[in-house]
Amino acid sequence: MIAKALMVISASIVLTFGVLHLILTFWGTKLTPRDPALQISMSQVSPVITKETTMWMGWIGFNASHSMGLILFGLVYGYLAIAHNRLLFQSRFLLIVGLAMLGGYFALGKVYFFSRPFIGVTISLACYVASIVASRV
């Protein structure tokens, strides 16, 4: 029961951050540059890889897809913990994939995120690992 609860907490943290990030991507100004001139410049410049988009459109797309990945992780692992916890905790593949995903977010967070998302992913990772340990006891 504790393993299941810890996994649900881990997944819920990631899901919450994903939903909030998606909302901030499309509504409000939290993910816009403090310097309005930078947003204008990003709207006018294409990345080297293609002229079919701008840096600003890429920025929005990256943030939206990042949010969708977080939401997917939270929904899938939360659902598995609640509805199919035996399958989840007996599958080395699922546990390793989840650990790799959260470990990746942890590493990215350490280098690229600010404190709140990094703290969130750290807590989520700790709950995830603790859930695996608790499921083995």
**What is the pLDDT at residue 45?**
96
Nearest to 98 by CA among 2, 23, 3, 25: 3
**What is the pLDDT at residue 62?**
96
- Answer yes or no: are the C-beta atoms of 39 and 109 closer than 8 Å: no
The pair of three-digit structure tokens given for residue 73, joined into one six-digit string: 């992780």
Residue 56 pLDDT greater than 90, yes or no = yes
**What is the pLDDT at residue 137?**
85
Residue 119 pLDDT greater than 90, yes or no = yes
**What is the pLDDT at residue 76?**
98
In the chain, the amino acid numbered 28 is G
What's the whole-model pTM score? 0.92
